Chains A and B, each alone.
Chain A
């Protein structure tokens, strides 16, 4: 166990809806990254937050947004859900933005119908 927790475990939403996923970082970690893992594929980087600021983003549209709070917990928000957003969403925390070791939570399985 890494100490990174995510909620909820599973979620079913309808196309066009909005969703919020939550992540609690490992103690002492001030950086959180979010990844999307589609079925049968490797995780894809969405974005990273360091000390409450987004400091890096992958090839995802603006309807994917995030927040990091003073206690370093984090949210991933997805607006206008599409069927292709169905995936496992993973968050990972690290000691800082240069930390080479990222510790992953168990993920949230999102199904969009």
Chain B
């Protein structure tokens, strides 16, 4: 079965500094991986996706992620944090069990201080 592990439950950064949110995956297939963001009292928004094309994936709002098969990792980065980036981030793997089921990590809360 597919799974993801988010290595940090909370990450705190200062505005203008880099962001790194870590995710490791486990998959017996060539995985489809995603990062979603959830702002308070809002639904989930897709930040970016990896589906076996380029290993460096660019998403919205300046975020990007690199797929590293040798390390089974899919870390999310952003060069410079903005106050509006404060939210819950979920690393997600797609389980293609005849249909597309999304399997979510436990989430990382990103805190951005002025």
Contacts and interface: CB of A to CB of B under 8 A. Distances in A.
Interface of A: 2, 4, 33, 35, 40-45, 48, 50, 55-56, 58, 90, 92, 94, 97-107
A43 B96 CA distance: 17
Interface of B: 32, 36, 42-46, 49, 51, 90, 94, 96-107
A55 B46 CA distance: 24
Contact of A44 (B42, B46, B104): B104
A41 B106 contact: yes
A73 to B, nearest CB: 17
A56 B95 CA distance: 11
A55 B44 contact: no
A104 B37 CA distance: 11
Contacts of A58: 101
16 contacts: A2-B43, A4-B43, A40-B107, A42-B90, A43-B102, A44-B104, A50-B99, A56-B101, A58-B101, A90-B43, A97-B100, A98-B100, A102-B102, A104-B44, A105-B43, A106-B42
Nearest to A6: B43
A40 to B, nearest CB: 8
